[in-house]
Structure 1
Amino acid sequence: MSFSAVTCAAVAVVGLIFATVANTEEVDNFRMCRNTHCEVFDVFVNPCPEALDSKPCELPQGTNASIEFKYIPKWGSSQPVTRLYAETLVMDLPFLGMDTNACLYTECPMVAQATQIYNYNLYISESYPKGGYTVKVKMWNGESNAKSSDECCFKIDIAIV
């Protein structure tokens, strides 16, 4: 491979990395669920250039998206459980295919009053209907002696396009 081919390949890789990072934006219009016992901050969704204008993230069918945030739970757990839901008027509908073991997405055990990071990659299935949704991101203590208040939950708005 010639020097110019290596240079072009390196520029292409850097461009691809920049394009990926450039679509990751902080979502500042998230809302905490009622009766949640944690702090959530630094919420990032990729891709979500719409967040720059405080609009719902537009996630195309058949693509991957990621959500990352920092949180400080007021409770600890060695068996945390997590789920993403689409909020509806009747009931919360879980996103299918998600492993509910929160230790796959955050450090375990979860430690009370310690800042931790959660990172989940979501496939936006072609079977998900297009439209606007409020997504509820929820974690709770899965231990048998857990209190019902051992929960961390917030909401963001998305549009499946």
Structure 2
Amino acid sequence: MSTSNGLFGLILIGFATTTLAVFKDCGSKEATVTKVLCNGQDSGPCQLKKGTDASLEIDFTSKTSQSQLTSVVHGILSGVPVPFSPTDTNACNGIVEKCPIAPNNNYSFKTSLPVKSIYPSLRLVVRWEIQDPSSTDVICIELPAEIVS
């Protein structure tokens, strides 16, 4: 177990939060997010079933050209972002249309998020950022989630 995944799991133990809207844009600077699906659903908290991989799809319209993009993921615990390592940090691998991306074009980013069996059942917020090489948020979304058995 990596240090960040272990820390994420341990901090989850004492956390609970209220349900939020479907998704919140938390500072997308270089794209407009048009749709977010978690496990194919666009309503309610994202159900993260222990021992499975949750699917995430983010549809967006790019405002800039990009050839390198990185996924940065946090669990928001009591208002504090805790780093979490996604399966693949190269966000270009998840863009269906592939990189490079160009301004005024529509794209779909698809990925999965492993939900370990050791995680406690609780509610949290997942922050998913897709950043350019200068660490600017091309996309930043916050998604209410619930870890379930």
Counterpart Cα distance in 2 of 1:35 and 1:70: 13
Offset from partner CA, 1:12-67 (integer Å, 9 cap, x none): xxxxxxxxxxxxxxxx721100363321122211165xx5xx42122221012101
Corresponding residue for residue 27 of structure 2: 34
Show the 5 A alignment for 1:79-158.
79-89=68-78, 91-106=80-95, 107-142=98-133, 146=134, 149-158=136-145
Q: Given the two structures, how large is their TM-score scaled by the length of structure 2? A: 0.72
Corresponding residue for residue 48 of structure 2: 59
Equivalent position to 1:78, from 67, 71, 90: 67
Larger helix percent: 1
Corresponding residue for residue 18 of structure 1: none
Offset from partner CA, 1:47-105 (integer Å, 9 cap, x none): 65xx5xx4212222101210112111222211111122212346422323532111110
Larger strand percent: 2
| Runs of at least 5 residues in structure 1 that lack an aligned partner in the other structure | 1-27
Is the 8 Å Cα contact of residues 47 and 57 (structure 1) preserved in structure 2? Answer: no
Same amino acid, percent of matched pairs: 28
Show the 5 A alignment for 1:42-57.
42-46=35-39, 48=41, 51=42, 54-57=43-46
Larger radius of gyration: 1
Count of aligned residue pairs for this structure pair: 126
Q: Given the two structures, how large is their TM-score scaled by the length of structure 1? A: 0.68
SS at match of 1:138: strand
97 and 82 in structure 1: CA distance in 2 versus 1, 3 angstrom threshold:
closer
* Structure with greater contact order relative to length (CA < 8 Å, sep ≥ 6): 2
